[in-house]
Amino acid sequence: MEGQQMAHLLHIDSSIQGEQSISRRLTARAAAAWRAAHPDGAVTYRDLGRDPLPHLDTAGGRARMTPPDQHTPAEAASWRLTEEVVAEVARADTILLGLPLYNYGAPSSVKAWVDHLIAPGIAFDPATGAGLLGGRDFVVLATRGGGYGPGAPRHGWDHAEPWLPHGISMTGLEPRFICAELTLAPVNPAMAGLIPLYEQSLADAERAVDELWTPAGVAA
């Protein structure tokens, strides 16, 4: 991407928790930090939690295997939406994605977003397999209600963070993660003893967000 282009942020939320969402809180904090570092930049916002993309159906799947000039109306409609999703990423040099953990996996709305993003000819070269969307800073603000680290009873049960890099690998995008866990501790009486660990995890995530676009951090 050319350095003289205006900085552009794509901010994506996916939580269904509204104002109670920790991932939305973190993406909002990150977006504010980005705006402070790029006062002349542009921002595109997509809310997958409130306005999810349709999951790929038969027409959507065929739209990826059929030349556009042979699309049926349903296939053409699905492909137009895919072009819109890919264009949002292509315009951005920085992407923020809020990724809560639902039932040990990514929200289905994020899976649908990824499925629309895997588009031959515009997100990857079908002849060579080369990704066409690489070179962007892709920051994922991941939140988990419990603890899934080494030694935790459910270590390895988080199937969202390990999946995402594989799910988007064909595009050339490479996510980096900032995580806050134990987010259910303040609202689940059975987890009350874990509140200090939650508070530390959240503070660490907020500090990492605040350092994203400082002079000592990574420039967008």
User: Which residues touch 188 (CB under 8 Å, ≥6 apart)?
Assistant: 145
Total residues found in the chain within this entry: 220
pLDDT digits over 162-176, tens only?
999 999 999 999 999
The per-residue pLDDT for range 101-136, each reduced to its tens digit, is 999 999 999 999 999 999 999 999 999 999 999 999
Residue 3 lies in a domain: no
| Average of per-residue pLDDT across 41-59 | 97
Looking at residue 209, its pLDDT comes to 98
Residue 2: predicted pLDDT: 44
pLDDT band with cut points at 50, 70 and 90 for residue 216: low
pLDDT beyond 50 at 10 = yes
Provide the number of structural domains found in the chain: 1
Indicate the pTM of the whole model: 0.93
The CATH number that applies at residue 78 is 3.40.50.360
Question: Residue 203 pLDDT more than 70?
Answer: yes
In this predicted structure, the answer to whether residue 205 has a pLDDT above a threshold of 70 is: yes
Q: Is residue 182 part of a domain?
A: yes
Which of the four pLDDT bands, split at 50, 70 and 90, describes residue 219?
very low
* Other beta carbons within 10 Å of 29: 17
Is residue 47 within 8 Å of 28, Cβ to Cβ? no
Residue 95 lies in a domain: yes
User: Is 70 exceeded by the pLDDT of residue 197?
Assistant: yes
State which residues form the domain around 117. Answer: 8-210
Q: What is the mean pLDDT of residues 22-44?
A: 97
**Mean pLDDT (the chain, rounded):** 94
Using alpha carbons, list the distances in angstroms from residue 167 to 42, 116, 175.
27, 11, 11
What span, in angstroms and rounded, lies between the C-alpha atoms of 52 and 49?
Answer: 6
Of 51, 14, 30, 25, the C-alpha closest to 183 is 25
Give bridge partners of residue 139 from the DSSP assignment: 96, 176
220 part of a folded domain: no
Does 216 reside within a domain? no
Q: How many CA atoms lie within 13 A of 110 on its CB side?
A: 26
Mean pLDDT across the stretch 141-160? 95
Percentage helix, strand, coil for the chain under 3-state DSSP, each rounded to 5: 40, 20, 45
Model confidence at 220, pLDDT cuts 50, 70, 90, reads very low
Q: What pLDDT score was predicted for residue 4?
A: 55
Residues 6+ apart with CB under 8 A from 32: none
Residue 1 predicted with pLDDT over 50: no
Classify residue 217: in a domain, yes or no. Answer: no
d(CA 105, CA 169): 18
- Percent share of the chain, pLDDT over 70: 95
The pLDDT assigned to 214 comes to 84
Mean pLDDT on 148-175? 96
Residue 199 confidence (pLDDT) above 50 = yes
Residue 193 included in any domain: yes
